[in-house]
Structure 1
Amino acid sequence: MTEHIVVVGAGYTGLAAAKLAAKWTDAEVTLVNDRDRFVERVRLHQLAAGQTLRDLPLADLLRGTRVRLVVDRVTAIDSQIREVQLTDGTLAYDRLIYALGSHADLDSVPGVREHAHTVATPGEAERLRADLAHARVVAVVGGGLTGIEAAAELAESLPHLKVVLVAAGGLGEALSAKARRYLRTTFDRLGVEVREHSRVTAVDADGLTLADGTRAAADTVVWTAGFRVPDLARDAGFAVDGNGRMVVDQALASVSHPEVLGVGDAAALRRPDGLELRMACATGLPTTQRAVRALADRLRGKEPKPFRFAYLNQCVSLGRKHGLVQFVRGDDSPREAVLTGRLAARYKEAIVRGTVLFERHPTMPAG
């Protein structure tokens, strides 16, 4: 009897996983997603800044495959009877690929949910764009790469805005000293004010309250300080870590439910040396290939190859004209080597375009 693989989530890893499962196995494959479009999440700060993104219907990306698309929202997973519950019906599965990704953490600080915007979904980015039309001062909270890219994009595209980046730690503190110097130079050129070591304790309609009691006034707040994953894995009884991410083995199978694979941001994967891999396309795409290849091997009675993974770089857009490529060691720690300026911007754009090319042809090398 033909097995039924259900993939939940059609982001970067879910879409690739469904297409690979249809190509590398004989199983029936169903992909469930709550919208009928593929979202280039890494470009949503561009959408917020007023730019137009490509329209990428999932039906087009799935054309010529054996994948059946179901546009609906997953409401629960019953791991006992192996069933995915949707707003409109249910889907039984023999194997499940859990790829529901992550979303902005809106509940870690009072007022964020009520008063802040994010760039985590197209709808949120479009609401931010509309709000920015009436703003004079925008505060971007979060000193990680998402906050850095958002602040630079807004400052370059909307020069009438005063952009303030508020970071709990240092600006780009995971980057090398040379990269941090370039960031500061670029932000100075763009007019972005940086407030480091400033932890936000509340957000309201007039801006931010900081841990030292001072205020940072803003007409609009963009929240990029942290992401969380859906509670569906925990609620289903799958083993999860303290952040709710599915705990998986070296083949990305759930350690509690081996018929389930976890890929992308919603899975907590560690290398054999114990390094937990970060949430990123640079992690998700190659490890998704690894996961589905291991599944295909096991369905054929073969033992999967040992897991190996190493990082190469981190690519940061700083508007459309400038960029930063931080070269890293295999464990993601920064080297001093960086690529900057227009060449780095072109490099980053090629990487981002390459992710869509990968979704069209997910057997191509991903890292």
Structure 2
Amino acid sequence: MTQHSHVVVIGGGYAGVMAANRLTQRADVTVTVINPRPAFVPRLRLHQLVGGTHEAVVDYREVLAERVRLAVDSVTRIDRDGRGVELSDGSVLGYDYLVYAVGSVGAAPRVPGAEFTHPVATLEAARKLRSVLDDTPATAAVTVVGGGPTGIETAGELAQQGRRVTLACGGVLGPYLHPRARRTAVKRLTGLGVTVLDGPGTKVTSVTRDAVRLADGRELPSEVTVWTAGFGVPELAARSGLSTDSAGRLLTDETLTSVDDERIIAAGDSAAPSGLPFRMSAYAAGCLGAHAADTVLNRLADRPAEPVDLSFPAMCISLGRGMGIFQFAHKNDTAMRLYVGGRAGARLKEMSCAFSVKHLVKEARKPGSHHWPKGEHRRQVLRAEQDKAPAA
């Protein structure tokens, strides 16, 4: 009789759902996804939740394969010796293989007055911020801290509502963007009424109930301060005694297998293969979730697991509801001169958001169908890192 295997997936985001669905290729595998929320959160939509143009939730019945069991709970510790995960009520769920896909969270502000800031990185935080804004006059000053995609998109959404928004970048606006695309973003945000403050002097050094102070000494009125600067990862791996990088991501080899335990495979924002993690994104999370599942399936079939291979074709940013930027990228994840802006950019951005969920739905119905572009750049980077490393 064929031995049945139980795979536990911690995390029900893009990486976890993709991995769980792909694992159903084998009839002798049971899959359990553990997630603290009963609904899937397409995080690419959270800025829209803040702006009131999308609820940013999808029923798990739409994205999870029928054979996948969903456990609405939180994991407090991984017992790798006993091959089990401890849940919030103290019970233990055993596993044969574990997929670690806990995702990322917003970085906590490390400035005086952090308690007066509002994050956007989770469903609960975005809902709370939306409630705060609903109770705040439209004429109130709003400061968005952080010049990355989340900050740009949140500022655009709020400005399009007619709010008085200042975007304090703390450095370069949209550091990933090519300078040509960056100029387009500034022009569009300014057209919406956003005051864009960039450069090293725009780093926020403190926050009060009604103002923010910048590194260059300026003090800006701010009745609502939205914090989008930086991302971190949950501390579950470190708390469980597993090896992590300096940011807390699970250290793995190139097959996404934990350096401590071949039964633990990581995926998404919480994975650090060879200590060189991929850029945090929904696109990378889905691809890494699929690869993590393939690693498990290869092990179950007594086949060698393959090294991860992933290239980034583009990244996209919305600038309000009607405009956007679709930035094409080289395979090494650096921006090309080529980009699509305006309404066409917005349509491509919307397609990307929609397909991030449609890929999960397709994998649920046809496991093993997800494919992604690949390239040699990562192997070149790894070889360069090995050449730089001192001889043992």
Q: TM-score range by the shorter chain?
A: over 0.9
Partner residue of 2:386?
Answer: none
Q: How does 1:278-317 map to 2 (within 5 A)?
A: 278-317=279-318
Partner residue of 2:44?
Answer: 42
CA contact (8 A) 1:25 1:296 kept: no
| CA distance in structure 1 between the aligned counterparts of 2:252 and 2:151, rounded to whole angstroms | 29
Please state if 1:215 is matched with 2:219. yes
Partner residue of 1:13?
Answer: 15
Root mean square deviation of aligned Cα:
1.7
* 1:358/1:366 CA distance change after superposition, 3 Å: farther
Partner residue of 1:244?
Answer: 248
**Out of 95, 98, 102, which is 2:97 matched to?**
95
Partner residue of 2:264?
Answer: 260
CA contact (8 A) 1:275 1:331 kept: no
Please state if 1:353 is matched with 2:354. yes
Partner residue of 1:104?
Answer: 106
| CA distance in structure 1 between the aligned counterparts of 2:354 and 2:4, rounded to whole angstroms | 36
* 1:279/1:63 CA distance change after superposition, 3 Å: closer
Partner residue of 2:235?
Answer: 231
**Out of 174, 177, 182, which is 2:176 matched to?**
174
| CA distance in structure 2 between the aligned counterparts of 1:124 and 1:237, rounded to whole angstroms | 29
The alignment partner of 2:58 has SS state of: coil
* 1:155/1:12 CA distance change after superposition, 3 Å: same
TM-score when scaled to structure 1? Answer: 0.94
Provide the aligned length of Structure 1 versus Structure 2: 360
Partner residue of 1:192?
Answer: 194
The alignment partner of 2:337 has SS state of: strand
| CA distance in structure 1 between the aligned counterparts of 2:338 and 2:166, rounded to whole angstroms | 28
* 1:275/1:328 CA distance change after superposition, 3 Å: farther
TM-score when scaled to structure 2? Answer: 0.88
- Report the CA distance between 1:207 and its aligned residue: 2.2
| CA distance in structure 2 between the aligned counterparts of 1:278 and 1:328, rounded to whole angstroms | 13
CA contact (8 A) 1:117 1:221 kept: yes
* 1:344/1:237 CA distance change after superposition, 3 Å: same
- Report the CA distance between 1:80 and its aligned residue: 2.2
| Structure 2: tracts of 5 or more residues without a match | 364-368, 374-392
The alignment partner of 1:358 has SS state of: helix
Partner residue of 2:388?
Answer: none
Question: Percent identity, aligned pairs only?
Answer: 39
- Report the CA distance between 1:77 and its aligned residue: 1.6
CA contact (8 A) 1:358 1:366 kept: no
| Structure 1: tracts of 5 or more residues without a match | none
| CA distance in structure 2 between the aligned counterparts of 1:52 and 1:168, rounded to whole angstroms | 28
The alignment partner of 1:70 has SS state of: strand
| CA distance in structure 1 between the aligned counterparts of 2:249 and 2:277, rounded to whole angstroms | 12
* 1:298/1:350 CA distance change after superposition, 3 Å: same
| CA distance in structure 2 between the aligned counterparts of 1:269 and 1:322, rounded to whole angstroms | 35
Paired letter, 1:145 = P
| CA distance in structure 2 between the aligned counterparts of 1:143 and 1:309, rounded to whole angstroms | 26
- Report the CA distance between 1:205 and its aligned residue: 0.7
The alignment partner of 2:220 has SS state of: strand
* 1:54/1:119 CA distance change after superposition, 3 Å: closer
